[in-house]
Amino acid sequence: MYEDQITKGAGMVTVEFLGPIGKPPMEVEAASLEELAERLKNIEGLEAWLGTSAVAINDVMTAERNAPLSDGDKVSILPPVCGG
């Protein structure tokens, strides 16, 4: 973890990337979804997915960009898929 990225009050969350994103789960320190998105967009191959994917916190879908995150939360990044 980069010390300059740790935010006061932030918790360690697990981020899982579903479907074709192809990234293994990772742990990230973040206090909100907005802060998490800022950190993830710097990871190669993720920025394009972040703009088009749905997000769930602890298996509950959310569209609230400022949704708070707590230590131990699981954030799932769900890309759009084709199919029926």
16 falls in which pLDDT band (50, 70, 90)? very high
What distance in Å separates the CA atoms of residue 26 and residue 56, rounded to the nearest whole number? 15
- pLDDT of residue 38 exceeding 70, the answer is yes
Give the pLDDT score at 48.
86
CATH superfamily of 9-23+30-78: Beta-grasp domain (3.10.20.30)
Burial of 40: CB neighbours in 10 Å, binned 0-12, 13-18, 19+: buried
Residue 19 CA to chain centroid, in angstroms?
14
Give the pLDDT score at 39.
93
83 falls in which pLDDT band (50, 70, 90)? low
